[in-house]
Structures are given as C-alpha cells and as structure tokens.
Amino acid sequence: MATPDLNLLVALDVLLEEGSVAGAADRLRLSPSAMSRTLARLREATGDPLLVRAGRGLVPTPRALELQERVGSLVDEGQTLLRPSKVLKLAAVERTFTMRASDGFVENFGPRLLGRLGADAPGIRLNFLQKPDKDSAPLREGRIDLETAVVEPTMGPELRTQALFRDRLIGVIGATHPLTRKKISAKHYAEARHVIVSRSGLDEDSMEGKLLPEHFKRHVACSVGDLRPR
C-alpha cells in the first residue's frame, strides 16, 4: 500500500479555509496551476470532488465539510509537534481562560485553583461560565477553552480529555420514610416517589439515569436542577 503524501493535508486545510484555488495558491506560495493539480490529487485520494462550482465561486461538498474540522486539528497538531520546545514561564503568562463548569465544581475547586494561580501565574484570569447542558459545541468551536464533563466513549477524537477525579452518587431519604423500616428492594425503590436531578426535567436526562438498568421504571414526582444546600 502506497504511503500517502501528508503534505496534501496542509493543502486540503488551506483549500477548505479559502474556498478558492487562487486564494490557496497565494497562501501556499504556489502557482494557480500547481494548486489546481494538488486539488486534482486530493480529489483522487479522497474519491470526492471536495470543491464544486457554484456560480462564480467554489463551495465545499458534504464530504469536504465533514473533513474540514478533522483536517484542521491534524494540521495544528502536526505544527505543534514540529515546533522547537520552549520552557513555559507561568509567571510571565498573561491570558484569560474561559471555563464552563457546574456551580458545584466552582464552589469545591475554584478557591484553591485561584489561590494556585495567584501564586504561580498571577497574569492568568479565569472566567467561569454556567453549564446549562452537555453540548460540547462551544468547546469544539473555540468559544471556551476548558470544560468539566463526564468522560464518555462518544467524545470526539478532536477533544483532549483528562480524568480529574471519580465521583459517586448517593440516594437520600427522610428519617421517617417508610423505606427506612424495611430492606430496600428494587421493587420498593421503584415504587417510591422520587425527586431527580435533571437539567432538562426529563427522567432520561437525570444524573443517575445512566446507572439504572435498561427499561427500569420508577415513580418520579419531581425534578430539580440542583440539590445542593444553600
């Protein structure tokens, strides 16, 4: 199997950003004819026209749109790998990082994190944003820099993840609740009236929903967005 020409990745990234053979040729310092030949090679390699004529310009095909985000990440990572290593001096860094996290994370870790930054990197500012949903689009699109979330297999390869800690869930009942007077079975648990923690109010979106057996039904009397004491 022939080794692919990885230079084509750079060309594809620029072509999709510019949407123009002439614009891509100018950025890569190639002649328009050379850029046209490169586009022809890309079409042959991917089995897709990638850019098609629409009026006086070119528009990306669905396959090109699918590749655009992935190829951009690959090129950026390759450029990072080939840069000379530099020793980062945290004390000299001046930058604002925007982080989307739950109130619980900010309350538990925010003070210590800010204390560490004040000592090691006083020029760094943190902006904490509310996390109303699980949508990772703001992170993918670069509108935020960091996000706390549950690490799941469905996360895309373009997102860098690192486990920070493991958490556990507990059920809470009143001291005089009937369930305290007998051994709790799955049947007794399901028949009880439940208060669930869910951002959307839907049972399937509850924090503990993924831990329950499939098709498990329970009596949900109420949903709340947060159960932490104030």
**40-88 pLDDT, tens digit each:** 999 998 899 998 988 778 888 999 888 887 888 888 888 877 777 777 7
Domain-located, residue 156: no
Q: What does the block give as tokens for 138?
A: 């703001």
From 81, 103, 132, give the residue that closes a domain.
81
pLDDT of residue 230 exceeding 70, the answer is: no
Residue ranges making up the domain that contains 43: 7-81
Q: Give domain status of residue 229, yes or no.
A: no
**Does residue 198 carry a pLDDT above 50?**
yes
Same-domain pairing of 43 and 61: yes
138 and 104, same structural domain?
yes
Q: Which of 81, 107, 134 is the last residue of a domain?
A: 81
**Residues 99, 71 within the same domain:** no
Predicted local distance difference test score (pLDDT) of residue 70: 86
Q: In this predicted model, what pLDDT tens digit does every residue of 79-136 receive, in sequence order?
A: 877 777 777 788 988 999 999 998 888 988 999 999 999 999 999 999 999 887 777 7
Q: Please check whether residues 70 and 20 belong to one and the same domain.
A: yes
Whether 53 maps to a domain, the answer reads: yes
Q: What is the pLDDT of residue 114?
A: 93
Domain finish residue from 130, 147, 164: 147
Residue range 6-43, pLDDT digits in tens:
888 899 999 988 888 998 999 888 888 999 999 999 99
User: Residue 163 falls within a domain, yes or no?
Assistant: no
Predicted confidence (pLDDT) per residue in 141-166, tens digit: 788 999 988 777 666 666 788 888 88
Q: Does any domain span residue 49?
A: yes
Residues 128 and 189 in one domain: no
> Would you state the pLDDT for residue 125?
94
pLDDT at 184 over 90: no
177 phi and psi, to 5 degrees? -65, 145
The total number of structural domains that make up the chain: 3
Strands 219-224 and 193-197: parallel
Residue 2 has pLDDT above 70, yes or no: no
pLDDT of residue 1: 47
In a domain, 159, yes or no: no
